[in-house]
Amino acid sequence: MRRRKFIALVAACAAVAPSMALAQTSRMPRIGILVLGTPDPTLFLQQFGAALRELGYSEGTNVALEVRNAQGSPARLPSLARELVALDVDLMVAFQTPAVVAAKAATAEIPIIMCPAQEPVQMGFVKSFARPGGNITGVTTATADLAAKNLDLVREALPAARRLGVLGNPGDPFHKPFLESVEAAAHKLGFSLKTMLTSGDQLESAFAALVKENVEAVLVQPSLPREPACAIALNHHLPLFAPSAEFAVAGGLMAYSADPASVYREAATFADKILKGRKPAELPVQLATKFLLVINLKTANALGLTLSPTLLVRADTVIE
């Protein structure tokens, strides 16, 4: 009898042991968030966090967020990405293309969510939209095409304009396809371009150089700092356009872009799927489907511009 009881007890312990081991090794999932810091990631962090909460996640309760901000220095991104890898995060969310580049270089195993990245196939992040094929997936916004559409806005808002300044960000590998798309569109629309590469701390001198070239408007790559670019443009009495709605909100004249809030929230959907066991290789890259035309009428008035009623009616948001 005692022997049978002992065998039964051993069997019961063996059955319980795996679940006890699982309980001992289980931990709160960690999401690493990597941002360059320019442009300002505040809206991204707010919307991503809000979407996670709607999906049932509560920071500090059932998920931990590890945010690493390079404070606008691209050189800091690789070490911050490696820091997140060392923390053994369950996935990484990379805000904008430079952060995706750093995350990709840091790990080939940890899932990476692009939010967003531009030209992900051309940049080598994924094999295709439908079948990413590696540890990276996420959202893209086709900003190169949107940059060309912003030139249509320049022509409509400033029909007499001929000289256009374009500022690209050399710290963002996407600047090459961005500028190529702008140059092709400018040729069709009859613009003469003055293109410059500038970092965030050189914006003042870059705008001063464009003024000397007698440009009549400026198109800015979205990964450059928003508030400084908009303020400097206004000081120089230059209408500023960008394929980023957040630039128009910050004081630029107008922008046609993907809806940033919907893009940032989509990243949380990817995070939820990956935390529940899905693999990035089997999650198709999502192309933004919601777009916004934002016009800053306050800026237009400060510049002494009168915009056509038909243009204002088309706007999704008019800032007065």
Backbone angles phi, psi at 219, to 5 degrees: -110, 130
For residue 251 the two structure tokens come to 């004081």
Q: Are residues 103 and 174 in the same domain?
A: no
Q: Are residues 102 and 155 in the same domain?
A: no
Q: Are residues 59 and 83 in the same domain?
A: yes
* pLDDT tens, N- to C-terminus, the chain (320 residues): 444 443 344 344 433 333 333 333 468 999 999 999 988 899 999 999 999 999 999 999 999 999 999 998 999 999 999 999 999 999 999 999 999 999 999 999 999 999 999 889 989 999 999 999 999 999 999 888 898 899 999 999 999 999 999 999 998 888 998 999 999 999 999 999 999 999 888 999 999 999 999 999 999 999 999 999 999 999 999 999 999 999 999 999 999 999 999 999 999 999 999 999 999 999 999 999 999 999 999 999 999 999 999 999 999 999 99
Q: What is the pLDDT of residue 129?
A: 96
Reported pTM: 0.85
Q: Does 312 reside within a domain?
A: yes
Backbone angles phi, psi at 168, to 5 degrees: -110, 160
User: Residue 38's domain spans which residues?
Assistant: 29-140+260-289
Q: Does 270 reside within a domain?
A: yes
The domain total for the chain is 2
Q: Collect all residues with Cβ–Cβ distance below 8 Å to 237 and sequence separation of at least 6.
A: 303
Q: Are strands 64-69 and 30-35 parallel, antiparallel or unpaired?
A: parallel
Residue 211's Cα: distance from chain center in Å? 29
Alpha helices (H) in the chain, listed in sequence order: 2-25, 42-54, 77-86, 97-106, 143-157, 175-189, 203-212, 226-235, 245-249, 260-275, 297-303, 309-314
Q: Does 3 reside within a domain?
A: no
Q: Are residues 133 and 281 in the same domain?
A: yes
Q: Are residues 76 and 175 in the same domain?
A: no
Q: What is the pLDDT of residue 26?
A: 67
Q: Does 14 reside within a domain?
A: no
Q: Are residues 99 and 240 in the same domain?
A: no
Q: Are residues 252 and 265 in the same domain?
A: no
Tell me the C-alpha distance between 200 and 132, whole Å. 32
Q: Are residues 166 and 78 in the same domain?
A: no
3-state SS, residue 238: coil
Q: Does 13 reside within a domain?
A: no
Q: What is the pLDDT of residue 11?
A: 41
Shortest CA distance to 285 belongs to which of 115, 145, 143?
115
Residue 170: CATH number of its domain: 3.40.50.2300
Tell me the C-alpha distance between 100 and 107, whole Å. 11
